[in-house]
Amino acid sequence: MVSPTRFGFNEEAYLTNSFQNRVELSNDELQNKAKSEFDAFVQQLKDLQVDVLIYEDIPDSTTPDSIFPNNWFSTHVTGELFLYPMAVKNRRAERREHIIQDLVDSYGYSITDLSHFETAEPPLFLEGTGSLILDHENKVAYAALSPRTSQVVLDVFAQHLGYEVVSFEAYGKTGELIYHTNVMMAIGDNYVIVGLDTIAEQNRVRVETKLRASGKELITLSNDQVYNAFAGNMLQIRNTKDETILVLSQKAMDALSEEQLDDLTRLNDHLLAIKIPTIEKVGGGSVRCMLAEVY
């Protein structure tokens, strides 16, 4: 997780992220609220015996979205650390060499750098586990194609790790392509959470069939839950006692039906709801975006 030093509304990112909202707060007020929400999140994770690596963004940074590190890198059980091409130019500075080097030194990762696609003609993008929803057990990569998720880079990633690609189009509340797959889908060890109705009609049956073939239980979300409550932006993690924890925002938790909550409670050892209203509203991302897994 990356602790923010200059969290704020990212004008460049807003062009392709309809989940962002402007608020009448100063830059200092936004930073203070985001930092308070971030610190409380970290403490809740630690209270459940989750190992958390915390890096702090540099002072006076120009990276208002650095609180969302899962977009620029991912780690894998193969021992690889992937770096990704980012669509928003000011987000590319989030790739901090000291973070990369610390992870390599601590865990022995080799680096697979896909960021060179940023300078392709035309530029091509794949924003980490924002773009990619990975079924690790079945080696399938699900991805909603968008200005931030290129089929070309997706295929390169999948070929490198030997994953099958299931790509599709999914739409937001104003008919735009959903910018990141992780706002409408999450995969746990024995279940899938998905906003099926956001998926283009011509792709929906194909994607649903593939998800069901995984052997995982399917929990479907309404469009309202996806668009207005970040209900798809969840992540299942494990703590030091090897218990499963589904991390979601309080806003997402409040939007779930009793049946959905019962299913998720049954399928996880813990549900951990996090209050991050400022980060969600202004940053246009939720708890999953704030977590980059270390395998």
- The answer to whether the Cα torsion of 143, 148, 150, 154 is positive or negative is negative
HSE, CB side, 13 Å, CA atoms: give it for residue 155.
4
Among 35, 273, 65, 38, smallest CA distance to 179 is for 65
Spatial distance between the Cα atoms of 156 and 83, rounded to a whole number of angstroms? 13
Instruction: Label residues 155-175 b or e (16+ Cβ within 10 Å = b).
Output: eebbeebebeebbbbbbbeee
285: Cβ contacts below 8 Å, ≥ 6 apart? 19, 65, 67, 68, 130, 180, 183, 230, 233, 279
Report the pLDDT value the prediction gives residue 285, as an integer from 0 to 100. Answer: 81
Using alpha carbons, list the distances in angstroms from residue 28 to 33, 262, 276: 9, 40, 17
Asked whether 85 and 153 are in contact (CB, 8 A), the reply is yes
**Dihedral angle computed from the Cα positions of residues 60, 62, 93 and 123, in that order, rounded to the nearest 10 degrees:** 180
Per residue in 124-146, pLDDT (tens digit) is: 999 999 999 999 999 999 999 99
Asked whether 160 and 133 are in contact (CB, 8 A), the reply is no
Among 226, 228, 260, 225, smallest CA distance to 246 is for 260
Three-state DSSP class for residue 56: strand
Report the pLDDT value the prediction gives residue 88, as an integer from 0 to 100. Answer: 87
- The low-confidence residues of the chain, meaning pLDDT below 50, are 10, 13-14
Report the pLDDT value the prediction gives residue 6, as an integer from 0 to 100. Answer: 76
Three-state DSSP class for residue 149: strand
One-letter amino acid identity for 124?
A: L
Report the pLDDT value the prediction gives residue 181, as an integer from 0 to 100. Answer: 97
Report the pLDDT value the prediction gives residue 281, as an integer from 0 to 100. Answer: 79
Instruction: For each of the domains in the chain, give its residue range(s) and CATH number, in order of start.
Output: 2-290 (3.75.10.10)
Report the pLDDT value the prediction gives residue 7, as an integer from 0 to 100. Answer: 65
For the entire predicted model, the pTM comes to 0.93
Report the pLDDT value the prediction gives residue 191, as an integer from 0 to 100. Answer: 98
